[in-house]
Amino acid sequence: MEIGRLFPRTRASAGPDAETTAAHAIAAVRILNQEYIVASRGNDVGWFRERLAPDAVIVLGDGRRLRSPDFLSMMESQPRKYRSLGLTDVTLRAYGGTVQVDADARWEMAEGTQGVSRYIDTWAWLDGRWLVISAQVTPLPDGGAGRS
């Protein structure tokens, strides 16, 4: 699909307009990424139902690969109870109609377990909105000590 149809203010050629569109895409997904973390912290299945593409692939820290329906079902049947969940080292990159987010999420569960997970999410502009098309979470050994 032509980039101008995805982002009406964008021309297909590279240059200042493309940079402006990338900046707008990154700004929009940065807000969505914050909402993603809040929704994760609160186990907000509804938020994920609205923002996961129907065929999104989610790879969990234990290596399981789930599609959206199975991930949502897991969230409903096995809610996670966080005491805290925050981000560090957040990087966003725009590639046309996609934006990739990678970050480290420092977390503490309600029962006191702590750790750091590195994640990478890919958002795509589909049907006039940003949707997650893939996500992968990797727990860091030793709670993220010696991260790179």
For 29, the enclosing helix (H) or strand (E) is: helix 16-41
For 77, the enclosing helix (H) or strand (E) is: helix 68-77
More confident residue, 59 or 147: 59
In a domain, 80, yes or no: yes
Tell me the pLDDT of the chain averaged across its residues.
88
Q: What is each CA distance from 44 to 20, 26, 68, 81, 130, in whole angstroms?
A: 32, 23, 14, 11, 18
In a domain, 76, yes or no: yes
Q: Give every CB contact of residue 102 below 8 A, 6+ residues apart in sequence.
A: 89, 90, 91, 118, 119, 120, 121
Q: Give every CB contact of residue 83 below 8 A, 6+ residues apart in sequence.
A: 108, 109, 110, 112
In a domain, 3, yes or no: no
pLDDT of residue 81: 95
Task: Return the DSSP state at 144.
Answer: G
In a domain, 85, yes or no: yes
In a domain, 70, yes or no: yes
Full domain range(s) for residue 33: 11-142
pLDDT at 140 over 80: yes
In a domain, 2, yes or no: no
pLDDT of residue 139: 96
Total domain count, the chain = 1
Q: Give every CB contact of residue 63 below 8 A, 6+ residues apart in sequence.
A: none
CATH of the domain at 125: 3.10.450.50
More confident residue, 91 or 18: 91
In a domain, 54, yes or no: yes
Using one digit for the tens of pLDDT, what is the confidence trace for 47-65? Answer: 999 999 999 999 999 999 9
Using one digit for the tens of pLDDT, what is the confidence trace for 64-99? Answer: 999 999 999 999 999 999 999 999 999 999 998 999
pLDDT of residue 78: 95
In a domain, 20, yes or no: yes
∠ CA 4-7-13 to the nearest 5 degrees? Answer: 45
pLDDT of residue 142: 76
pLDDT of residue 17: 65
Q: CA quadruple 70, 109, 90, 38: dihedral positive or negative?
A: positive
pTM equals 0.83
